[in-house]
């Protein structure tokens, strides 16, 4: 197979790994810990740069109330806590024996993992474009929701992924267009995340 075919095959393996809850197959194509850590820093930077704008939109969210400097300090201080929550939720999702808890309060991690599974079932992806430069590739993927509640919440979002080829394996390194994605994803969180789902992470 050529490079394009190899990359398309890697994308399909990642998609089936996520849907089939097979973490080892997914990890073949992405260093999850490094990917999340770098993405956290990029998102924090974007939130800080647009802190005043987001405070106007979401005046009740304390994250934006005290300005960009405090936002950066807060996210730096709680990076480990935030990423631990994401990682534990992801691990729970990939546990094929995951049992839905009775409520958010009874087991927040498992509850969020179940919500994640419902969201993922409502989404489909379509590769729009692939471009290569040496051992790197940019992949434009449109991720769309179906007509369910979760699908309508998501809508349609365009992702631009960067992959690097190493040892004959394509690995996902980053989401290139985070600046474009932060506003709609933030809007989703502000609109649909109930106050009852309080994780206890406070200023």
Q: What is the pLDDT of residues 21-67, one digit of tens each?
A: 999 999 999 999 999 999 999 999 999 999 999 999 999 999 999 99
Q: What is the pLDDT of residues 68-104, one digit of tens each?
A: 999 999 999 999 999 999 999 999 999 999 999 998 9
At residue 193, the pLDDT reads 81
Residue 146: band (very low, low, confident or very high) from pLDDT cuts 50, 70, 90 = very high
Q: Is the pLDDT of residue 202 over 50?
A: no
pTM of the model: 0.91
Three state DSSP letters for the chain:
CCHHHHHHHHHHHHHHHHHCCCHHHHHCCECHHHHHHHHHHHHHHHHHHCHHHHHHHCCCCHHHCCCHHHHHHHHHHCHHHHHHHHHHHHHHHHCCCCCCCCCCCCCHHHHHHHHHHHHHHCEEEEEEEEEEECCEEEEEEEEEECCCHHHHHHCEEEEEEEEEEECCEEEEEEECCHHHHHHHHHHHHHHHCCCCCCCCCCC
Residue 196: band (very low, low, confident or very high) from pLDDT cuts 50, 70, 90 = low
Q: What is the pLDDT of residues 94-125, one digit of tens each?
A: 999 999 999 898 999 999 999 999 999 999 99
At residue 33, the pLDDT reads 97
- Domains detected in the chain: 122-203 (3.10.450.630)
CA distances from 45 to 36, 69, 178 (A): 14, 10, 10
Residue 3: band (very low, low, confident or very high) from pLDDT cuts 50, 70, 90 = confident
Q: Is the pLDDT of residue 201 over 80?
A: no
């Amino acid at each position: 197979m050529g490079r394009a075919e190899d990359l398309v095959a890697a994308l399909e393996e990642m998609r089936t790994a996520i849907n089939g809850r097979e973490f080892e197959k997914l990890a073949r194509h992405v260093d999850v810990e490094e990917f999340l850590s770098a993405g956290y820093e990029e998102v924090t930077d974007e939130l800080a740069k647009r802190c005043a704008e987001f405070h106007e939109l979401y005046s009740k969210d304390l994250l934006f109330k005290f300005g960009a400097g405090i936002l950066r300090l807060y996210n730096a201080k709680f990076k480990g806590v935030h990423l631990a929550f994401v990682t534990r939720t992801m691990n729970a999702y990939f546990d094929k024996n995951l049992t839905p808890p009775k409520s958010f309060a009874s087991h927040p991690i498992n509850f969020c993992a179940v919500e994640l599974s419902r969201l993922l079932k409502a989404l489909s992806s379509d590769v729009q474009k692939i471009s290569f430069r040496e051992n790197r590739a940019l992949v434009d993927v449109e991720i769309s929701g179906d007509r369910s509640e979760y699908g309508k919440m998501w809508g349609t979002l365009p992702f631009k992924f960067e992959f690097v080829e190493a040892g004959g394996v394509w690995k996902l390194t980053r989401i290139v267009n985070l600046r474009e994605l932060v506003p709609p994803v933030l809007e989703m969180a502000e609109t649909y995340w109930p106050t009852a789902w309080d994780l206890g992470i406070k200023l």
